[in-house]
Amino acid sequence: MASMVGLDASAASVGRGGLRWQAPAGCPREAEVRTRLSEALGERADELDVVAEVSRREHERFEATVVLRGEWGESTRKLDSPTCDTLANAIVLLAKVSVTDAAPTAPILAVPEPEAEPSAGEPEVGSPEASDSAGGPSGELVSVASDATEPASQDPKASEAAVEDSSSESDAGAVRDSGRAPSSDAAPPSSQSSSRALLRVEARAGAGLLPQENLGGAATAGLERRWFRVELGGAGWLPRERTVAPDARVRVALWAVEAHACAAIRPRAWLTALPCAGLDVGRMSGQGTGAGLVVGRTSRQTWVAANVTAAASFRLARFVGLWVGASVVVPLRQLGFSVTGLERDAYRASPVAGRGALGLELLLP
């Protein structure tokens, strides 16, 4: 309620025929919206002032609170849309309808005027009950004007229109006007958003998988819905060496295919927390090198490990995010390598390993 009062105060400070436009980055600028209003209203642009405050909601939706002021009075509406450009077009359309309906012309009715008197219990045409029951198919513009014989000041909200953007199907969803009850064939709510794909590249560092410090990278593809995501990727680590005897070393390398399932928790529109669990399947190889070995051999073993990951994705732009994660890895097979003539293992993977990652995500629409 506090934001509504502030918006009304802003509307009072805008002169007739003016525009006050507040919107986040990526939305049309005020000059562009002003041009659209001028083209839509023509010579009647000075009969109306518009105040619009646009904010970005979760799941890439935009919401606008719009105040329209004219000789007929003042009205406040709320609109939301998946794109800010579509929202701007809807605000222009709403302004055009308000100016048109305010003119002292024949009323535009949502249903044709009946020839006979309505029966008892049936609302009269043009009444609020009749306009509420006159919902058309999705995309239809329905407007109800106040009676031309009545002063406009008696009902300043009589010319409010139930607006649903019908500009084109390419707008990926109609603008929803919260001032109108949804019809039975309306689009599903935004909470049932469809899936979208994602791609990610990571740089990794860890310990316990290979000798010494572990450095590597990964590439991941996934599918994301509102509350969860699934991912499949491949990772590789730079080979590392360990000295096991004078002039004898073992060189260890690892690659794996990784599958993850994650919950998606969104405390903010720009932040997604991702607790994940996954399974790694790949191959670890150990190669003996150095002049101290009579014969240098390579051994390859199947790598299987479970992991749990705590990650977060920070939205940098509409389709780009910064991904940060930390994982605990538990090998399900204890892999190791030995050298003939050496009593102890040349190398054995740690029973618990850790890794951290930093990457960029591309979220496809």
317 in the same domain as 217: yes
Domain count along the chain: 2
Give 201-256 pLDDT, tens digit per residue. 999 999 998 998 899 999 999 999 989 999 999 999 999 988 887 777 888 999 99
Query: 136, 158, 190 — which closes off a domain?
Result: 190
Q: Which domain holds residue 20?
A: 2-190
pLDDT band for 150, please (50, 70, 90 cuts): very low
The single residue listed with the structure tokens 């019908």 is 166
For residues 118 and 263, membership in a common domain is answered with: no
Q: Where is the domain boundary, 190, 224, 257?
A: 190
**pLDDT level of residue 17 (50, 70, 90 thresholds):** low
Model pTM score: 0.49
Say whether both 356 and 216 belong to one domain.
yes
Determine the pLDDT at residue 264. 93
Verify that 224 and 147 share a domain, yes or no. Answer: no
Same domain, 261 and 324: yes
Which CATH number fits the domain that encloses residue 248?
Answer: 2.40.160.20
pLDDT tens readout for residues 301-344: 999 999 999 999 999 998 999 999 999 999 998 888 877 767 67
| CA distance to 163, 212, 242, 336, per residue, from 346 (Å) | 74, 13, 8, 7
Q: Are residues 109 and 161 in the same domain?
A: yes
Consecutive H or E run containing 97: helix 84-102
Confirm if 201 and 218 have CB atoms less than 8 A apart. Answer: yes
Statement to judge: residues 216 and 347 lie in one domain: yes
| Same-domain pairing of 206 and 268 | yes
The top-scoring range by mean pLDDT among 104-118, 130-144, 161-175, 198-212 is 198-212
Highest mean pLDDT among 7-21, 123-137, 210-224: 210-224
Q: Which residues are registered as beta bridge partners of 224?
A: 196, 229
Q: Residue 69: what pLDDT?
A: 85
Which of 165, 190, 215 is the last residue before a domain boundary?
Answer: 190
95 and 10 within one domain: yes
Axis-axis angle for helices 84-102, 30-41 (nearest 10): 30
Mean pLDDT, rounded, for 271-286:
95
Considering the domain architecture, whether residues 22 and 130 belong to the same structural domain is answered as: yes
Nearest residue to 339 (alpha-carbon basis) of 284, 302, 301, 293: 293
Residues 223, 322, single domain; the answer is yes
Question: Is the domain of 208 the same as that of 114?
Answer: no
